[in-house]
Amino acid sequence: MTRDILLDANLVQHTLRHGTESLPILRGASLHIERGESLAILGPSGSGKSTLLSLLAGFESAQSGEITLCGQSLSGLDEEGRAALRAQHLGFVFQSFALLPQATALQNVELAAQIAGRAQPREKAREALAAVGLAERLDHRPAALSGGEQQRVALARAFVHQPALILADEPTGNLDQRTGARIIELLFGLNREHGTGLLLVTHDLALAERCQRQLHLRDGQLHDDPLPAGAG
Amino acid sequence: MRPARALLLLCLALATAVCASTGALTARVETLLVSRSAATLGGDLLLRSSTPFAAELREQVAQAGLDDSLELSLPTVAFAGERSQLINLRGVDAQWPLRGSARTQPAQSSSAPPPGVVWVDERLATALDVGPGAQVQIGRNEFRVGAVLGAHPGQGNAGFSSLAPQALLRSEEIEAAGLLAEGARSRWYLYVAGPPAAIATLRSQAEEQGLRAAAPGEVRPEIGSALQRADRLLTLAALSSLILLAGVVFLLGRYQLPSWEYETAVLRSLGASRRALLRRLAWPWARDSLFAVAAGTALAVGVHALIGLLLARQQQLALPPAPLAPFLVAAAAGLLLSLVLLPHLLRASATPPARVLRQQHDAASHGLLRGLAWTLLCLVGLSLLLSRSLELLLAGLGLTVLGALLIGLLAWGLLRLLPPGPPLSARGQLRQQGAAAGLQAGALGLGISVLLLLAGLQSQVIAPWQAQLPADAPNRFLLNIQPGQRDALDATLRESGIAEPRIMPMVRGRLVALNGEPVSVEDFDDPETQRWINRDFNLSSAATLPTDNRLLEGDFWTPGTTEALMSADVYAVERLGLEPGSTMTLDVAGQQYEYRVTNLREVQWDSLQPNFFLLVPPAALPVEQATWLTSYYLPPAQSALDRELIGRFPNLTILDLDALLLEIRALTGRALFALQWVFGFTLLAGSLLVLTMLLASAPARRHQAAILRALGLARTRLRALTLREFALLGLLAGGGAALAAQLALATLAQRAFQMPWTPDWRLLLLPPALALLLTALLGWLMLRSTTTTPPARLLKEGA
pLDDT tens track for B617-652: 999 998 888 888 888 888 777 767 776 776 677 667
Name the H helices within B339-472.
Answer: 342-349, 355-358, 368-387, 390-417, 426-433, 435-456, 463-472
Task: Give B-chain residues touching A45 at CB under 8 angstroms.
Answer: 799
Please state which of the ranges A107-121, B292-306, B342-356, B579-593 shows the lowest mean pLDDT.
B342-356
B393: left (phi over 0), alpha (psi -120 to 50) or beta: alpha
My answer on whether omega of the bond before B106 falls inside 30° of 0, hence cis, is yes
pLDDT tens track for B411-445: 888 888 887 777 778 888 787 777 777 877 887 78
* Secondary structure letter of residue B421 according to DSSP: P
pLDDT of B659 reads 59
Q: How far is CA B197 from CA A160, B44, B46, in A?
A: 85, 11, 15
**Gap between the terminal Cα atoms of chain A:** 37
Rounded distance between C-alpha atoms, residue B213 and residue B199, angstroms: 11
pLDDT of B236 reads 77
- Residues of chain A above pLDDT 70, percent: 96
pLDDT of A190 reads 79
Task: Determine, for residues B710 and A57 on separate chains, whether the beta-carbon distance falls below 8 Å.
Answer: yes
B217 pLDDT higher than 80: no
> How many CB atoms neighbour CB B131 within 10 A?
12
- Residues of chain B above pLDDT 90, percent: 14
Report which of B538, B657, B671, B532 is spatially closest to residue B606, judged by C-alpha positions: B657
Query: What are the structural domains, with CATH classification, of chain A?
Result: 37-62+76-223 (3.40.50.300)
- Residues of chain B above pLDDT 70, percent: 85
Q: Is B710 on the interface with A (CB under 8 A)?
A: yes
Rounded distance between C-alpha atoms, residue B622 and residue B620, angstroms: 7
pLDDT of A123 reads 94
Task: Give B-chain residues touching A50 at CB under 8 angstroms.
Answer: 792, 795-796, 799
Q: How far is CA A107 from CA A140, A168, B429, B791, in A?
A: 10, 21, 10, 20
* Secondary structure letter of residue B460 according to DSSP: I
Q: Are strands B104-105 and B504-514 parallel, antiparallel or unpaired?
A: unpaired
What's the mean pLDDT in A131-138? 90
Identify the burial level of A185 via C-beta atoms within 10 angstroms of its C-beta, where 0-12 means exposed, 13-18 middle and 19 or more buried. Answer: exposed
Report which of B57, B51, B56, B86 is spatially closest to residue B72, judged by C-alpha positions: B51
A53 pLDDT higher than 50: yes
pLDDT of B479 reads 78
pLDDT of B472 reads 57
pLDDT of B144 reads 93
The residue of chain A with its CA nearest to that of B798 is A96
More confident residue, B455 or A29: A29
Q: Are strands B117-121 and B141-149 parallel, antiparallel or unpaired?
A: parallel
pLDDT of B363 reads 45
Task: Determine, for residues B792 and A59 on separate chains, whether the beta-carbon distance falls below 8 Å.
Answer: yes
Please state which of the ranges A68-77, B204-213, B664-673 shows the lowest mean pLDDT.
B664-673
pLDDT of B753 reads 61
What's the mean pLDDT in B356-372? 62
Task: Determine, for residues A112 and B711 on separate chains, whether the beta-carbon distance falls below 8 Å.
Answer: yes
**3-class DSSP state of B360:** coil
Rounded distance between C-alpha atoms, residue B748 and residue B534, angstroms: 38
pLDDT of B766 reads 78
pLDDT tens track for B702-719: 888 888 888 888 888 888
A216 pLDDT higher than 70: yes
Please state which of the ranges A48-62, B286-300, B501-515, B677-691 shows the lowest mean pLDDT.
B677-691
Q: Is B796 on the interface with A (CB under 8 A)?
A: yes
B798 pLDDT higher than 50: no
What's the mean pLDDT in B451-467? 67
Task: Determine, for residues A94 and B798 on separate chains, whether the beta-carbon distance falls below 8 Å.
Answer: yes
The band of B230, judged by pLDDT with boundaries at 50, 70 and 90, is low
The band of B228, judged by pLDDT with boundaries at 50, 70 and 90, is low
Rounded distance between C-alpha atoms, residue A203 and residue A225, angstroms: 15
Whether the CB-CB separation of A166 and A155 falls below 8 Å is answered with no
In whole numbers, what is the pLDDT of chain B averaged over residues? 80
Rounded distance between C-alpha atoms, residue B223 and residue B208, angstroms: 28
The band of A1, judged by pLDDT with boundaries at 50, 70 and 90, is very low
Please state which of the ranges B355-359, B406-410, B477-481, B543-547 shows the lowest mean pLDDT.
B355-359
What's the mean pLDDT in B535-542? 86
Task: Determine, for residues A111 and B715 on separate chains, whether the beta-carbon distance falls below 8 Å.
Answer: no
What's at B327, amino acid-wise? F
The C-alpha of B339 sits at a distance from chain A's nearest C-alpha, in angstroms, of 33
A11 pLDDT higher than 50: yes
The residue of chain B with its CA nearest to that of A46 is B799
A230 pLDDT higher than 60: no
Task: Determine, for residues B795 and A173 on separate chains, whether the beta-carbon distance falls below 8 Å.
Answer: no
Task: Determine, for residues A98 and B706 on separate chains, whether the beta-carbon distance falls below 8 Å.
Answer: yes
In whole numbers, what is the pLDDT of chain A averaged over residues? 87
pLDDT of A33 reads 94
A116 pLDDT higher than 70: yes
Report which of B212, B256, B203 is spatially closest to residue B4, judged by C-alpha positions: B256
What's the mean pLDDT in B166-193? 84
The C-alpha of B721 sits at a distance from chain A's nearest C-alpha, in angstroms, of 12
Whether the CB-CB separation of A43 and A205 falls below 8 Å is answered with no
The band of B334, judged by pLDDT with boundaries at 50, 70 and 90, is very high
Using the Cα atoms of residue A221, residue A224, residue A226 and residue A228 in order, give the sign of their dihedral.
Answer: negative
Q: Is B697 on the interface with A (CB under 8 A)?
A: no
B221 pLDDT higher than 60: no
Using the Cα atoms of residue A48, residue A53, residue A56 and residue A57 in order, give the sign of their dihedral.
Answer: negative
Please state which of the ranges A154-158, A224-228, B669-673, B732-736 shows the lowest mean pLDDT.
B669-673
pLDDT of B540 reads 92
The C-alpha of B772 sits at a distance from chain A's nearest C-alpha, in angstroms, of 24
pLDDT of A98 reads 81
Q: How far is CA B695 from CA A123, B254, B529, B787, B790, in A?
A: 35, 11, 56, 14, 19
**CA-based radius of gyration for chain B:** 34
Please state which of the ranges B93-97, B520-524, B640-644, B694-698 shows the lowest mean pLDDT.
B640-644
The C-alpha of A89 sits at a distance from chain B's nearest C-alpha, in angstroms, of 9
* Secondary structure letter of residue A211 according to DSSP: S
Contacts of B719-722 with CB under 8 Å at 24 or more apart are B719/B783, B719/B787, B721/B424, B721/B425, B721/B426, B721/B429, B722/B779, B722/B782, B722/B783, B722/B786, B722/B787
**3-class DSSP state of B180:** coil
B514 pLDDT higher than 80: yes
Task: Give B-chain residues touching A170 at CB under 8 angstroms.
Answer: 798-799
pLDDT of A32 reads 93
Whether the CB-CB separation of B80 and B99 falls below 8 Å is answered with no
The band of B290, judged by pLDDT with boundaries at 50, 70 and 90, is very high
Task: Determine, for residues A111 and B423 on separate chains, whether the beta-carbon distance falls below 8 Å.
Answer: yes
What's the mean pLDDT in A108-137? 90
Residues 6+ apart with CB under 8 A from A210: A38, A40, A184, A188
Whether the CB-CB separation of B177 and B115 falls below 8 Å is answered with no
Using the Cα atoms of residue B733, residue B735, residue B736 and residue B741 in order, give the sign of their dihedral.
Answer: positive
B5 pLDDT higher than 80: yes
Q: Is B704 on the interface with A (CB under 8 A)?
A: yes
Whether the CB-CB separation of A158 and A166 falls below 8 Å is answered with yes
The band of A232, judged by pLDDT with boundaries at 50, 70 and 90, is very low
The residue of chain B with its CA nearest to that of A81 is B714
What's the mean pLDDT in B20-38? 75
What's the mean pLDDT in B541-559? 88
My answer on whether omega of the bond before B97 falls inside 30° of 0, hence cis, is yes
Name the H helices within B73-133.
Answer: 122-128
